[in-house]
Structure 1
């Protein structure tokens, strides 16, 4: 069985696209990643066109579309979701929303072989989007649910594991509780979600029959109020 899956992400300061091709027992993932603050709308679809041209395929070849559904930049999430929905609708193919935090955990696992990972993205307003994961052989399991909260309110699962933190939320490291800091052997605050890991995760979801119709997949903001309001 062959698969051509395109993934898009604009949840952070970067735009990224990836094309995963699987045929029988072989897999290949082509990816592009650009740091493009405030230029996501202008760059995302041209990057898709460039990637498909490099792969020498047309959009009609695609079997599924995936996108970074959040949490992350509200504007970026809407841009990626809109582009992915438009492609999936036009191609009449399934759409798969992928957690940015899960993709970030997979990236840390694949690049650095970390197994027990805290993902945290800067949510602005003094908060983070955080979750904890266990990773083994490219498999990512959620241990504590994704949530938006103050760094001081973040707690690790009750176990004896040494954790590693990744993501922009760790620019707020000094605000994490000492009981959390002492159980984390290191933290990397320069990792951002990428479409490449989203493509691999989406391939598993596609195989499990989790693809949705274009109109059904929506961004996940975690925060109910997406605009900051000045206190009265």
Structure 2
């Protein structure tokens, strides 16, 4: 029997909420890049009313932990923490990149996914995933030739990705906004790829992945919930005449 999990995500232009009860999904989703704070709580109310339960009937609250828009990630985690504190619920943070991989599996059973979110500043948030039989997603590590390190989820200029990415057999499904934003650079990757309609993470996919984490006992208290930004610092050009 699955846990009763409410999931929400505001990390990208998309705003979504989902409630998962006994493998039944109640969901709301809308692309509303500047209205997350207006949309998210009414969506929460709607799915709870549709299912006929309250926050206090839930087992956990899941949220898209990032990466994504700095503001969007902060909005999502702040609202999730507020709901969690009020109902004394444990929290489960799910990668937005992994959620898009799960979205590709939900849409067309894709088990090999390359996810790329436009991170602005000529960079993308990137991860390459393979689905396991138990429903978990394994991140394919990429190597950094400069410092001999490897990483899974990362922020990287798309022009550098081809040089660091190893060729992988099979057909890989693209997900995210990065493919359209950096089409020419990403077309050079040593992968056989196909497009998909999955542009953003969805709360219903976060809820599915949160069930796996729930069964493994991977929950945190509200005060311990934290975002994943990947980018440690933001650089910008100063306006003329300003120091």
Compute the TM-score of the two structures, normalised by the length of structure 2: 0.87
Q: Is residue 151 of structure 1 aligned with residue 137 of structure 2?
A: no
Partner of 1:191: 199
In the alignment, structure 1 segments of 5+ residues that lack a partner are: none
Q: Which runs of 4+ in 1 moved over 2 A?
A: 136-139, 155-164, 182-185, 187-190
**Could you tell me how far apart the structure 1 residues matched to 2:226 and 2:196 are?**
29
- Residues 79 and 64 of structure 1: CA distance in aligned 2, closer, same or farther (over 3 Å): same
Partner of 2:146: none
Q: Which secondary structure does the structure 2 equivalent of 1:215 belong to?
A: helix
Q: Kindly indicate whether the alpha-carbon contact (under 8 Å) linking 1:151 and 1:177 is maintained by their aligned counterparts in 2.
A: no
The match for 1:139 among 128, 136, 140 is 136
- Figure out how many residues of one structure are paired with residues of the other and give that number: 225
- What's the CA shift string for 1:96-132, capped at 9, x where partnerless? 1100000000111221122221100000011100010
Partner of 2:148: none
The match for 1:166 among 161, 171, 175 is 175
- Residues 230 and 67 of structure 1: CA distance in aligned 2, closer, same or farther (over 3 Å): same
Residues 10-19 or 84-93, more deviating: 84-93
Q: Which secondary structure does the structure 1 equivalent of 2:131 belong to?
A: strand
In the alignment, structure 2 segments of 5+ residues that lack a partner are: 142-151
Q: Kindly indicate whether the alpha-carbon contact (under 8 Å) linking 2:100 and 2:198 is maintained by their aligned counterparts in 1.
A: no
Identify the structure with the greater strand proportion: 1
Where in structure 2 are the equivalents of 1:39-58 lying within 5 Å? 39-58=35-54
Where in structure 2 are the equivalents of 1:1-232 lying within 5 Å? 1=1, 3-22=3-22, 27-136=23-132, 138-144=135-141, 145-155=152-162, 156-171=165-180, 172-176=182-186, 178=188, 180=189, 183-188=191-196, 191-225=199-233, 227-230=234-237
Residues 151-160 or 197-206, more deviating: 151-160
Q: Kindly indicate whether the alpha-carbon contact (under 8 Å) linking 1:168 and 1:189 is maintained by their aligned counterparts in 2.
A: no
Q: Which secondary structure does the structure 1 equivalent of 2:224 belong to?
A: coil
Residues 166-175 or 132-141, more deviating: 132-141
Task: Calculate the aligned-residue CA RMSD, in Å.
Answer: 1.8
Q: Kindly indicate whether the alpha-carbon contact (under 8 Å) linking 2:97 and 2:127 is maintained by their aligned counterparts in 1.
A: yes
- What's the CA shift string for 1:8-51, capped at 9, x where partnerless? 000111110000102xxxx2111110111200011111110111
**Could you tell me how far apart the structure 2 residues matched to 1:218 and 1:210 are?**
14
Q: Kindly indicate whether the alpha-carbon contact (under 8 Å) linking 2:59 and 2:89 is maintained by their aligned counterparts in 1.
A: yes
Compute the TM-score of the two structures, normalised by the length of structure 1: 0.91
Q: Kindly indicate whether the alpha-carbon contact (under 8 Å) linking 2:3 and 2:214 is maintained by their aligned counterparts in 1.
A: no
